């Protein structure tokens, strides 16, 4: 089976940088994705890492270390609209089934 761990909550001020860590234990590993979900809304895709290293998309970056079974999502220049839940999710095989972590609630304060 798959097991993913991420912090449950993070609070930061506007303009700050937040890093959300995700560690995983899977029977196989193909890639790591990140999704954002505003309260009660549809999850939306943020990033995917299939190889080790950093992927940057605007203010958000995602990192993967396959040897450490670890990844993180970096949110820079935090804005109030970044207040949401963030989920890491793994593809354990190449069949495009996702297993999700429990999510990290990010609260941005003025």
Partner 1 sequence: DADVTQTPRNRITKTGKRIMLECSQTKGHDRMYWYRQDPGLGLRLIYYSFDVKDINKGEISDGYSVSRQAQAKFSLSLESAIPNQTALYFCATSDPGLHEQYFGPGTRLTVT
| Residue 48 lies near partner 1 (rule: CB under 8 A) | yes
> Which member of 42, 58, 68, 81 binds partner 1 (CB under 8 A)?
42
| Residue 33 lies near partner 1 (rule: CB under 8 A) | yes
Listed ranges 21-29, 34-42, 57-65, 75-83: which one lies at the site for partner 1 (CB under 8 A): 34-42
| Residue 89 lies near partner 1 (rule: CB under 8 A) | yes
Q: Which DSSP string corresponds to 17-71?
A: -EEEEEEEE-SS--EEEEEEE-TTS--EEEEEESSSEEEEETTEEEEEETTTTEE
CB burial string 17-31: b at 16+ within 10 A, e below: ebebebbbebeebeb
Q: How far apart are CA 70 and CA 92, in angstroms?
A: 14
Q: Least distance (Å) from partner 1 to the CB of residue 7?
A: 13
| Residue 24 lies near partner 1 (rule: CB under 8 A) | no
Residues making contact with partner 1 (CB under 8 A): 1, 4, 8, 31, 33, 40-45, 48, 50, 87, 89, 91, 95-103
């Amino acid at each position: 089976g798959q097991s993913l761990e991420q912090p449950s909550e993070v609070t930061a001020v506007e303009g700050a940088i937040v890093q959300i860590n995700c560690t995983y234990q899977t029977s196989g590993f193909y890639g790591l994705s990140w999704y954002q979900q505003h309260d009660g809304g549809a999850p939306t895709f943020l990033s995917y890492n299939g190889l080790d290293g950093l992927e940057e998309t605007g203010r958000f970056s995602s990192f993967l270390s396959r040897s450490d079974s670890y990844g993180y999502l970096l949110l820079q220049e935090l804005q109030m609209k970044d207040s949401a839940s963030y989920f890491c999710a793994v593809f354990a095989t190449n069949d495009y089934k996702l297993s999700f972590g429990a999510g990290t609630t990010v609260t941005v304060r003025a």
